[in-house]
């Protein structure tokens, strides 16, 4: 199969001293240490529940576990950094102790929370705000020397629904990535993953417009993370609920793989891993140097 080799995407990620090959797409499982995340089955507020979910996701083939203690659903209740840390840190430490092979990503926009979690055994910072909600985030990432997931969002989880206004959503997100990545590079951050932020300050039509052009983000030469699992853009279109949106999620994840995504962030690891395996059977193994 002839593949476009003009633009070379970064295909390795150094997380906790482990070199991860992203030329073969990977799956990130979502574990929410929250009482109010939009998909009820993802809520694992106790350490025991989180450990059971981590074990299941790792067994099902997850490369990463994304741990969050602050609900970022539209209109979610704001909590203090201390409460977020108190929820998060015991779970991070427990997973690190029981599953030392697990690569943990921390879903937070607060630099202090992120640093506590990294010191507690996590490896990656996943920031929905792209450094806009905490001015110390970029310098903290650089100092800790950890991979950083750079997401596009406008406003806050409490205000983002009122900010879903674009003349050119792809152009705005692309320019945002260029600007933010330049800043991260100046600070010496080596491993950056881009997340278009599906559903964050975006109506369904904006999210689908981004998906249709997602392969064009390859011009930036960075891995792309896709997080559309059971979101409103899926169940709103299909007229069902988040609980009924697994099939739609799998279809959209498969489209994301066709568009060049490197990481699928999902609630349902087994199904996402199966989508990757089938897609790779069609596409064939990655070519050397890709």
265 is a catalytic site residue: yes
pLDDT at 126: 97
**Sorting pLDDT into bands at 50, 70 and 90, what band is 290?**
very low
User: Does position 288 have pLDDT exceeding 60, yes or no?
Assistant: no
Of 202, 231, 232, 259, the active-site residue reads 231
Lowest mean pLDDT among 19-33, 90-104, 154-168, 252-266: 154-168
Task: Residue 200: name the closest of 173, 167, 235 by CA.
Answer: 173
Name which residue leads in pLDDT, 3 or 282. 282
User: Does position 128 have pLDDT exceeding 80, yes or no?
Assistant: yes
What gap in Å lies between CA 51 and CA 127, rounded to an integer?
Answer: 23
- Taking residue 141's Cβ as centre, other Cβ atoms within 10 Å add up to 27
- Beta strands in the chain, from DSSP E residues, in sequence order: 12-15, 18-21, 26-32, 64-68, 103-107, 124-127, 148-151, 192-195, 225-226, 263-266
Domains, the chain, with CATH or none? 12-282 (3.20.20.20)
- What is the separation, in whole angstroms, between the first and last Cα of the chain? 13
Residue that the structure tokens 């690891």 belong to: 269
pLDDT at 163: 64
- Cβ(181)–Cβ(222) below 8 Å: yes
User: Does position 272 have pLDDT exceeding 90, yes or no?
Assistant: yes
pLDDT at 201: 84
231 is a catalytic site residue: yes
pLDDT at 157: 67
User: Does position 90 have pLDDT exceeding 50, yes or no?
Assistant: yes
Lowest mean pLDDT among 10-24, 85-99, 161-175, 276-290: 276-290
CA 247 remoteness from chain centre = 20
User: Does position 289 have pLDDT exceeding 60, yes or no?
Assistant: no
Helical packing angle, 246-258 and 269-283, nearest 10°: 30
User: Does position 213 have pLDDT exceeding 50, yes or no?
Assistant: yes
What gap in Å lies between CA 29 and CA 39, rounded to an integer?
Answer: 13
pLDDT at 2: 38
> What would the mean pLDDT of 170-180 be, rounded to a whole number?
96
> What would the mean pLDDT of 70-75 be, rounded to a whole number?
71
pLDDT in tens, 188-206: 999 999 999 998 888 999 9
> What would the mean pLDDT of 45-59 be, rounded to a whole number?
91
pLDDT at 155: 64
Q: What are the tokens at 192?
A: 């950056």
Distances (CA, A) of 198 to 63, 70, 139, 148, 164: 21, 18, 26, 18, 11
CA 144 remoteness from chain centre = 19
pLDDT at 10: 79
């Amino acid at each position: 199969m002839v593949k476009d080799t003009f633009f070379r995407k970064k295909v390795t990620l150094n997380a906790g001293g482990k070199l991860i090959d992203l030329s073969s797409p990977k799956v990130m499982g979502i574990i929410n240490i929250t009482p109010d995340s939009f998909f009820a089955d993802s809520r694992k507020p106790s350490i025991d529940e989180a450990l059971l979910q981590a074990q299941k996701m790792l067994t099902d083939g997850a490369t990463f576990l994304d741990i969050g203690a602050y609900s970022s659903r539209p209109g979610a209740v704001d909590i203090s950094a201390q409460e977020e840390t108190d929820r998060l840190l015991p779970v991070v430490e427990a997973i690190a102790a029981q599953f030392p092979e697990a690569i943990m990503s921390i879903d937070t926009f607060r630099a202090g929370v992120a640093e506590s979690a990294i010191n507690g055994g996590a490896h990656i910072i996943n920031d929905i705000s792209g450094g806009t909600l905490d001015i110390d985030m970029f310098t903290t990432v650089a100092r800790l020397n950890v991979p950083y997931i750079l997401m596009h969002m406008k406003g806050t989880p409490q205000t983002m629904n009122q900010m879903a206004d674009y003349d050119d959503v792809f152009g705005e997100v692309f320019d945002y990535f260029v600007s933010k990545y330049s800043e991260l590079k100046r600070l010496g951050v080596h491993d950056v993953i881009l997340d278009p932020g599906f559903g964050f300050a975006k109506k369904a039509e904006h999210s689908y417009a981004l998906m249709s052009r997602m392969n064009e983000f390859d011009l930036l030469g960075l891995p792309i993370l896709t997080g559309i699992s059971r979101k409103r853009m899926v169940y709103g279109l299909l007229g069902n609920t988040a609980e009924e949106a697994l099939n739609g999620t799998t279809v959209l994840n498969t489209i994301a793989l066709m568009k060049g995504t490197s990481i699928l962030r999902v609630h349902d690891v087994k199904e996402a891993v199966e989508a990757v395996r089938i897609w790779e059977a069609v596409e064939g193994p990655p070519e050397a140097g890709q």
